[in-house]
Structure formats: structure tokens, C-alpha cells
Amino acid sequence: MKPSETFNNEDSNSSQNPDFDEVLSTRLSRRHVLRGAAGAAGLGVLSATGLAACATAGGGGAPLSSLGFQPVAKGLADAVVVPPGYRAQVIYALGDPLSASMPAFRNDGSDGDFGNRAGDHSDGVEWFGLGADGKPSRTAVARGLLAMNHEATTDEKLTSFFIHTDGGTASLPRPAAEVDKELMIHGISVVEVQNQGARWAYQPGSAFNRRVTTMSEAEMHGPARGSEHLVTKHSPDGMRVRGTLNNCGTGKTPWGTLVSGEENWFGYFHRDAQDDERRKKDRQVQALNRYGRKAGAPSRHGWESAGSADAYARWNNGALGASAKDDYRNEMNSFGYIVELDPYDKTALLRKRSALGRMGHENATFARAQAGQPVVAYMGDDARGEYIYKFVSKALWDTADANAANRLAVGDKYLDQGTLYVARFKSDGSGEWLPLALNNPVIAGSSYFEFKTEADVAVFTRLAADAVGATKMDRPEWGGVNPKNGEVYFTLTNNSQRNASNVDAANPRAYTDFKAGKEQKGNVNGHIVRLAEARPADTAFRWDIYLFGAEAGADRSSVNLSALTDDNDLSSPDGLVFSPATGVCWIETDDGAYTDQTNCMLLAAVPGRVGDGGKQTLTQGDKRVDTFVGKPQTTATLKRFLVGPKGAEITGICETPDGRALFVNIQHPGENTKMAEVSNPAKYESQWPANAGYGAGRRPRSATIVITREDGGVVGT
């Protein structure tokens, strides 16, 4: 397992949920079931209508016909490799100043003031255009803001060792000075970038530049706001929250703001071994365990150990005081949300949208907003055996809201009230979205967990999803909506615990692969599932598996089911973003399974549609599993576009509206470096981006690159 995987692999879903659908006996109302069935029956006709609507609504750019570049070979070079005819330029990296008065990043561990510098582990990123007048623009291509997540840090034991001079303190207690840096290096940044002719450059002095960190004041919105679950010493009325943490994937709302998913936040908290006993009848004990915070488990960085000041004490979520108003037993409940930020307004606080549920959020991707219809967002919960969700707004879309001046007020309108659903995949290729709300009798009458208020569902979402019998998936990462036909894609990155006894139609593979002679088991290379709905707000869908990750040489009847070759084989798909300009589906990998052969990569795909392949029966041990496999891939439909530097994951991706500049985040190069070698560049696994001519020092840095075509053309086509 690669170091950054450690925190994605908590096995906290011990629910007895079926991995396939036969067993479930829901008590959903007859009306709900009938509505689902009617939706499925009408699917063909309505899909055709939906397609026509997309085309006339300006589905974005010329239709995609081919991938016009030479595939990049797999490789282990410590470099970003792109096809001939393309340029990749580093423009923004860990530590870069976000104000004109900040000194340049020395990159030797001595730098401070990360509240005014780029954060670490850049992940999801979105483009927000600026006109020449400095006002928001949907069409600007030469000047814009990149709003991006800074998910985590490169760690060994407790310390983020590359940002401390000698690697820092890998034991408890952690020194406050080290923790102060680590608290500020997580979160989100907004940075202005400009096309300066031959080059792009970020603007250190831009008034738009902004950092949001674990300590930034934020607003809780939706059902959890003011609930008992958010009462802390800092917030006796449950109204105030601070910070955002482990921000992973991103999305862009139809009204032009950023949404960001808080993913592996639970690992940053600690409660002592006696905490379950101390809480006794508190139903939160069940929730704490379900969310991966077992009593006595160490926290990722030991931030709680740095002193009694509030900034450190808040990371101890044990019930230590007389009541919730005297301690931070509830602090963990203020993380795990989709958060919304207006990148154009640095005075506006981040808003946590609790109506979209609390989980290990990867990203949120929006269906095309249609006048008079609800706004719909799809989301994955990335941990082994977790679920896929969607949110359907109560308010119906008013096209005037697309260009409103108060963008966060529009967010309040669509994201604070609505219905959250979780997906159940059936073995016949159909599926159902199950509502997580008190008007669902399965939730209201659950004996598994007591749901009394909508805040209970918003905060303990995983338990609600367990209660309705959602399908356990192979680690749902990014979702993306195909702008050409509205189909919804989800990467399922891998699952080492998938085996012959728990395979199902939608997670059908369990096999053995070898890496440097060592066995790896389960769904080693991951897959991508896709869903078709007649309308985004419907409760019925059809699904198939668009793509199976595999090594080119693997058996084509059981593992390499998408017929991948050396030009397009991949492992552990993670980021998945459709280009609004071209319709290209960009697929990024976060892999530890195929890394003996190749570094992580970015591929470009011309996707088909649900049902373009067929039913296939796989044999897993003595078990046979029927699944639905998309059409086999060729180099006309899937090609490798980029291979990253050593130890790096390829994370976020976005582009200018003309598709001529593609921004890609390169996360944690050199993550397999040992802390003991922090002062010995010769021993670093990677020296990127210093070896590409960017910045001081030789410590590897997470960074943003911009990719353009030498002839100025549209990228990927």
C-alpha cells in the first residue's frame, strides 16, 4: 500500500448490508416502488429527449470524434511526460507566496506563514474566469482563478516531514510550532493565473488570492446547523464551525461557485481508550465507530498533543468535560461535508452544506441544470465498501440564478433543502436511489440507529445508508456527468477486501495480481461504473461498467475485460472529469498496484453510453457473477495522455472554456521518501518539480501544471 492510501482504507463499514440486492426487504412505500418502476420503463424514450435537449442547450463545443495525439508510454521517469506537440509547464506549487510581500519559498523546511502560501497536496481544481475588467466571466480564457484543494501532507509517522527543517517530531507530544504549520497547510487556495502569450503565470500579488485552512471561520448550513451534534466549547449553540480538512475532489455549481469534499477528516482526531465507556448510552459511540474513530486509535498527526490551547485541544474529541459545551466531543461532527466557496469573494465565509450528507466525500458533480427541474449533485464516499449518493434540491432551477451576483445565496437556495439518496445496484442492470429522510419509514423506524431529526440523517449519513440497504462499492472516488448525454460515471478505485464470497454484479472482480513477486488480491486495479437516468431527479437508473482497470497482459476473460493494451492500460482510476469544451472524459490514476511498471497517469477517453457492451458471466472461485460490461476499448476511445513523476498521484483537472489550456494537479511526488533522508536530496524518490526548473531547493512539491498544444489547438482532440 502506498503511504497516502493508509488513510483511505479504514474498514469501518461493518454493516450487514448486502453486497448484492436479492436479500433486501425494504419497507419503502408502494408509491415509491411504483414510481421507480415507471421511471425505468420510460427510460429509452426519455433518454432520447434528454439528448436532444442537451444538444440544443449548447452541450459545449464541437462534438468529439477522435483523440488526436500519440499515446504516452508507461514509464518510471521522474518527470511529467506529455505527447509530442504538447507542452507542460509548472505554474504553482506548495509554498508559493500568495501575497506580494511574502518571501519566495526556500523549500528547505524553514518556511513559515502557510496561511499566505500555497498549501500542500493539491487535489481537485476548478477554473473561474475573469474578464479584462476583473469581473467574473464564463467565457474568459486568458485570465482566471484556480480554486483548489490542499488535501493532506506527505507523512511519516506523525510528521509532515518535508515542511520541517529536520523532518519534524515523529512522536508525542508534537511541538506547537510544527503543528501550527501543519494546520495551515491543509484546506483550499484560490490563486489568479494569466496567459502571458507563450507562458502562463500565477499572480502572487492578486487581490483575489486566498487561503482557507483548518482554522478559518466557516458557516454550517442545512439540517445540521444549530443541532445538538455541533455543540462544542467553541460553539455552545451549535452554530459556529471552524475550518475545512482533507479536501479531496471538487466541482463547480451551475451558479459558478466551488464545491469541495472533506474526505479523510476522521483520522485527524483522537479520543482515548476509555471514551466509549465514558459515553455509555451516547448513540454517537456507534457513529464514531462507523466513521472510523475507534477509542484509543492514534490521530494522524497528534495535533491534539501540542498544548491546551483551543487550536490543539479541538482535535481531541473525547467526552472529557462535564457536557458537550465543555469539550470537543462533537468537533468531528463539523467535518465530513461538501463545502461551498465563492472564489470571487474572499470576504465570504465557506459554507458547509450538510444537506448533502456527512461521509468521506470525494467530489460533487452536478447534472446539467434544467429550468423548472431540481438541481442534482452526485457524490462518492471513498472508503472500502462505502456508497454512491445523490442530492436532489427542493427548489427548482431558475435560469436567472446562473448569473446571480450573490452566488452563495443561490447556494443556500438549492443546497440547503432537498433529498439525499443512496444507490442500490441490482443484479439485472437496474438500480434504485433510496431516500435518506425521515419520511422514509425505513429510516424513521430503524432499529439499527435511532434517527429522530433530519440533522441525525445529515450528520450520521453512513448509518442511514446502511439502514436502507445501499450497495457496498469498491471505494467510490470522483463522479462526472457526461455533458453529451447526462450519464453519470463513478470511479471505483480498488478494493483489497473484495473476494469470491462478496463479489456482486456492480463490483464483480476479485483476483490475484503480482507486483515485484508479491501477491495483491481483491479488485486490484479498480473499475468505472456508469448510470443512465431518464431525468436526473428520478429514483430509477440503469447501469453498466464502463471500464475495468487492468494490466495489458492480464487475462481478457476475467481481469482485462475492457481489452486494454499498452497504449491505454491503467490501474486505480480516481479523478474523472468531463471536458465541457470537447466532451473528452479525463481519467486520472492514484495507484500503488501497477507502480512497479509505471508512474500514475492521465488518460483521455471518448466515452460511449450505458448498454453499449453486453452481459458477461465471470467466474470467481466456484461462484459465477453476471455483470454488464461496456464495449471494449481501442486507441480510438482511450489513450494515455500523461505520465507523472515518481511517487505522484495525478489529482485535479480543469480547463479554460475554449479547451486550449488544461490545468492538472500533481500530488505528493516522492511520497515514498524516508524521513531520515529529508536532508539528503540524492535519496529523495523524486526531485520534481525542481528538476523541471521550478523553484528553489530539491524537496519534491505538489504542484499545478498547465498543458497546452504547441500549435495553440484544443487539448486532446
Applying CB under 5 A, which residues contact Ca ion?
A: 477, 493, 513, 515, 574, 590
Residues touching ligand FEO: how many (CB under 6 A)? 8
C-alpha cell recorded at residue 329: 466531543
Give CA–CA dist 20/470, Å, rounded. Answer: 9
- Choose the contact partner of 263 out of Ca ion, ligand FEO, none; CB within 5 to 8 A by kind: ligand FEO
Does 671 bind ligand FEO (CB under 6 A)? Our answer is no
Question: Measured from the CB atom, is 256 or 479 closer to ligand FEO?
Answer: 479
Adjacent-strand bridge partners of 557: none
3-state SS, one letter per residue, for 465-482? HHHHCCCCCECEEEEEEC
The phi and psi torsions of 310 (rounded to 5 degrees) equal -55, -40
Q: Report whether 686 contacts 700 (CB < 8 A).
A: yes
CA dihedral 109, 111, 114, 119 (to 10 degrees): -50
Distance of closest approach, residue 516 Cβ to Ca ion, in angstroms: 8
Q: Residues 259 to 278: which contact ligand FEO by CB under 6 A?
A: 263
161 three-state secondary structure: helix
Torsion angle of alpha carbons 513, 517, 519, 525, nearest 10°? -30
The gap from C-alpha 365 to its chain's centroid, in whole angstroms, comes to 10
Asked whether the bond before 173 is cis by omega within 30 degrees of 0, the reply is yes
Give the shortest CB-13-to-Ca ion separation in angstroms: 17
3-class DSSP state of 542: strand
Pairing of the two strands 350-353 and 217-221: parallel
The C-alpha cell that represents 557 in the structure block: 476473460
| x/- track of binding to ligand FEO for residues 314-343 (CB under 6 A) | ------------------------------
Residue nearer to Ca ion on the CB measure, 391 or 478: 478
8 A C-beta contact, residue 107 and residue 691: no
Nearest residue (CB) to ligand FEO, 386 versus 416: 386
Does 248 bind ligand FEO (CB under 6 A)? Our answer is: yes
**Smaller CB distance to ligand FEO: residue 284 or 493?**
493
Assigned C-alpha cell, 535: 431525468
530 grid coordinates: 456508469
Q: What's the min distance (Å) between Cβ of 651 and ligand FEO? A: 8
| Binding partner selected for residue 151 from Ca ion, ligand FEO, none, CB under the kind-specific 5 to 8 Å limit | ligand FEO
- Please identify, using beta-carbon distances, which residue of 360 and 697 lies nearer to ligand FEO: 360
Shortest separation between residue 384's beta carbon and ligand FEO, angstroms: 11
Pairing of strands 200-202, 210-212: unpaired
Of the residues 5, 8, 392, 426, which one makes contact with ligand FEO according to CB under 6 A:
8
Q: Which does 111 bind (CB under 5 to 8 A by kind): ligand FEO, Ca ion, none?
A: none
275 binds, options Ca ion, ligand FEO, none, Cβ within 5 to 8 A by partner type:
none
Residue with Cβ nearer ligand FEO (276 or 477): 477
CB of 8 or CB of 582, closer to ligand FEO: 8
Ranges within 569-608 binding ligand FEO (CB under 6 A):
574
List Cα–Cα distances, 694 to 89, 106, 196, in angstroms.
9, 12, 17
Nine cell digits for residue 325: 459545551
Decide: helix, strand or coil at residue 627: strand
Q: Which is nearer to Ca ion, 319 or 356 (CB)?
A: 356
Cβ burial, residue 682 (10 Å; 0-12/13-18/19+): exposed
The CB-of-559 to Ca ion minimum distance in angstroms stands at 10
Nearest to 648 by CA among 73, 76, 72: 76
Q: Per-residue contact track with ligand FEO, 132 to 151, x per CB under 6 A?
A: -------------------x
Residue from 21, 342, 381, 382 touching ligand FEO (CB under 6 A): that is 382
Contact 382, 477 (CB under 8 A): yes
- Report d(CA 381, CA 359) in Å as an integer: 6
Give min distance, CB of 264 to ligand FEO, in A. Answer: 7
Least distance between ligand FEO and beta carbon 477 (Å) = 5
C-beta of 378: minimal distance to ligand FEO in Å? 15
CA 431 to chain centroid: 23
Of residues 554, 576, 572, the one with CA closest to residue 563: 554
Burial group, residue 99, by CB count within 10 angstroms (0-12, 13-18, 19+):
middle
Instruction: Assign residue 372 a region (left: φ > 0; alpha: ψ between -120 and 50; beta: otherwise).
Output: left
Q: How many residues does the chain have?
A: 717
How near is the Cβ of 123 to ligand FEO at its closest, in Å?
6
Least distance CB 56 / ligand FEO (angstroms): 36
Q: Residue 370 Cβ, how far from ligand FEO at the closest point, in Å?
A: 29
Rule CB under 6 A: say whether 567 interacts with ligand FEO: no
* Residue with nearest beta carbon to Ca ion: 590
Neighbours of 25 (CB within 10 A): 6
In angstroms, the Cα distances linking 47 to 192, 535, 580 are 39, 8, 20
Q: Could you tell me the smallest distance in angstroms from the CB atom of residue 251 to ligand FEO?
A: 14
Q: Which residues inside 456-485 make contact with ligand FEO, applying CB under 6 A?
A: 477
| β-sheet with 585-589: strand ranges across | 573-578, 585-589, 601-605, 638-643
Is 318 or 549 the residue whose CB approaches Ca ion more closely?
549
In angstroms, give the least distance from the CB of 248 to ligand FEO: 3
| Distance of closest approach, residue 263 Cβ to ligand FEO, in angstroms | 5
| CA–CA gap between residue 333 and residue 460 (Å, rounded) | 9
Whole-angstrom distance, CA of residue 246 vs CA of residue 183:
11
**Cβ distance to ligand FEO smaller for residue 577 or 715:** 577
* Three-state DSSP class for residue 356: helix
Could you say which of Ca ion, ligand FEO, none residue 513 binds, taking C-beta under 5 to 8 angstroms by partner kind?
Ca ion
Letter string b/e over residues 52-64, b meaning 16 or more CB atoms within 10 A of that residue's CB: eebeeeebbbeeb
Among 78, 275, 304, 362, binds ligand FEO (CB under 6 A): 362
Residue 120 binding partner per list Ca ion, ligand FEO, none, with a CB distance cut-off of 5 to 8 Å that depends on partner kind? none
Nearer to ligand FEO, 490 or 543 (CB): 490
Contact 645, 599 (CB under 8 A): yes
Least distance (Å) between residue 409 CB and ligand FEO: 30
Binding site for ligand FEO (CB under 6 A): 8, 151, 248, 263, 362, 382, 477, 574
